Amino acid sequence: MELRPILSTLRRHRIPALLLVLEIALTCAIVCNAVFLISQRLQRTQMASGVAESELVQIQLAAIGKPADAKARAQEDLALLRQLPGVTAAALVSQVPFTNSSSNTGIKLDPAQKLPTLNATMYMGEGLIGTYGVRLVAGRDFQADEYLDFDAMKSDPNLQSKVGSVIVTQALGERLWPGQSPLGKNIYLGETSVRVIGVVQALIRPSLFMGDDAAQWTMIFPLRMSAASASRYVLRTASGQREAVLEGAAKALRKADPHRIILEKKTLDDIRREFFRNDRAMAGILVGVIIALLVVTALGIVGLASFWVAQRRRTIGVRRALGATRRNILNYFQTENFLLATIGIALGMVLAYGINLFLMTHYELPRLPPIYFPVGAVVLWLIGQAAVLGPALRAAAVPPVVATRSV
């Protein structure tokens, strides 16, 4: 295919050609970044929690007034819940993943340190590891006699120093002591020191207010909660029985003590889905924008190409009369579009990179992976070719006899 006639024609239609190039460039840049944003959002919704999500349900309740014996209340509730058919484990815990309610503290590696090394979440509750199904990768779980009552500790600060042990996540251990085993190491909370006795594979913070990089900075403490200090019962069951277990648990708990209100009863899957709903909504909006953009661009190409075909009807007729085949005419318009698209895509890549830099500084987004560039180029080439096909076929259908007619 000879390019020279195409280039000379385009030179005569410089502004429309430029506009088409610009449109393709902008579309290319926005679509590349939007697809990248979608992939980031969807990836975020897949974030690992470290718990056996599909087997867990949560029931949260609050007492009216002050319970007479909150400690006994909790033990009685737990005994009831463990008896329910289908329940394999139950725990009263201070926090539940994806509930956005969290208790955090600054930790230090050296008591003399002025600033804390980092801020981590504190999980508490007897039997938490077994109930959550968190995987222990080193060290051991807490022993029954290691647990202290949270309420007692809250009213007597001196008891704080008696909490001797802690279990941390792999990610937190790696962050605090890179390349070393966290086992046996000490961390300081205020003036209290605790020793790491176990490491779990993962346990996500209930709230990601410190950013996704800090999502796994969690510690588990051997503290027993009471009905006064915690409100969330977590039950483990086979995934098919979750709804039934929730209903049964709510009924049993209300029957045991009617003077309280059930705030929430949900499967952990539902809690997770709600936690990431904004990310999914954003991904949905982005998909909508991408589709709209591609449609508008395609229609723009159709419109401009149709105009050019109509304008050049006579020229096409002359070319046909001079021996050009239908295929030649078709190829002419296809090549012309390919040429414009290529310039647009090249410009669009530079623009995409620029937008990505902007997003990186303002929205803490990572760098656009290079794979997006060739894929984006191919997609836009295909759309360009598809859009120009109709007008090009119409051009190819112009009969040579047009050349002999004036107007």
Partner 1 sequence: MLGYYLDLALRSLKRNKALTALMVLAIALGIGASMTTLTVLHVLSGDPLPGKSGKLFYPQLDPQDMDGYKPQGEPPAQVGWIDGMALLHAKRARYQALMTGGAVPIQPAQSAIEPFFENARYTSADFFAMFDVPFLYGHGWNAADDEAGARVAVLTRELNDKLFGGKDSTGQTLRMDDVAFRIVGVLDSWRPTPHFYDLMTGSYSADEGVFVPLTTATDLKFAHNGSTDCWGKGFSDNMKTATCTWLQFWVQLDTPAEAAAYREYLLNYSREQQALGRFQRPPNVRLRDVMGWLDYNKVVPSDVRLQVWLAFGFLLVCLVNTVGLMLAKFLRRAAELGVRRALGASRRSLFAQLLVEAGAVGLVGGTGGLLLALAGLWLVRRQPSDYAALAHLDLPMLLATFAFAVVATLLAGLLPAWRACLIPPALQLKSN
Q: Which residues bind partner 1 (CB under 8 A)?
A: 15-16, 19-20, 22-23, 26-27, 29-30, 34, 37, 62-66, 106, 114-116, 154-155, 157, 160, 190, 261, 263, 274, 277-278, 281-282, 285-286, 289, 292-293, 296-297, 299-300, 302-304, 306-308, 310-311, 359, 362-363, 407
At its nearest, how many Å lie between partner 1 and the CB of residue 300? 4
At its nearest, how many Å lie between partner 1 and the CB of residue 90? 23
Pairwise CA distance, residues 102 & 116, whole Å:
18
At its nearest, how many Å lie between partner 1 and the CB of residue 155? 5
Q: Compare residues 292 and 401 and give the one whose CB is closer to partner 1.
A: 292
Contact 187, 120 (CB under 8 A): no
Q: Compare residues 199 and 351 and give the one whose CB is closer to partner 1.
A: 351
The closest alpha carbon to 242, from 58, 118, 71, belongs to: 58
Cβ count near 321 (within 10 Å): 14
Q: Compare residues 38 and 81 and give the one whose CB is closer to partner 1.
A: 38
Pairwise CA distance, residues 140 & 246, whole Å:
31
Q: Compare residues 152 and 183 and give the one whose CB is closer to partner 1.
A: 152
At its nearest, how many Å lie between partner 1 and the CB of residue 349? 16
Contact 183, 199 (CB under 8 A): yes
At its nearest, how many Å lie between partner 1 and the CB of residue 223? 12
Q: Compare residues 12 and 327 and give the one whose CB is closer to partner 1.
A: 12
Pairwise CA distance, residues 121 & 197, whole Å:
17
At its nearest, how many Å lie between partner 1 and the CB of residue 228? 10
At its nearest, how many Å lie between partner 1 and the CB of residue 30? 5
Q: Compare residues 52 and 159 and give the one whose CB is closer to partner 1.
A: 159
Q: Compare residues 268 and 286 and give the one whose CB is closer to partner 1.
A: 286
The closest alpha carbon to 49, from 256, 271, 320, 255, belongs to: 271
Nearest 10 degrees: CA dihedral of 261, 87, 129, 269? -70
Pairwise CA distance, residues 196 & 201, whole Å:
14
Please report how many Cα atoms fall inside a 13 Å half-sphere around the Cα of residue 213, on the Cβ side: 7
Q: Compare residues 34 and 330 and give the one whose CB is closer to partner 1.
A: 34
At its nearest, how many Å lie between partner 1 and the CB of residue 335? 20
Pairwise CA distance, residues 89 & 273, whole Å:
23
Give the torsion sign (CA, 312, 316, 319, 321).
negative
Count of helix runs (H) and strand runs (E) in the chain: 12, 13
Pairwise CA distance, residues 300 & 282, whole Å:
27
- Measured CA to CA in angstroms, residue 385 lies from 25, 161, 167, 344 at distances of 16, 72, 59, 14
Q: DSSP 3-state assignment of 215?
A: coil
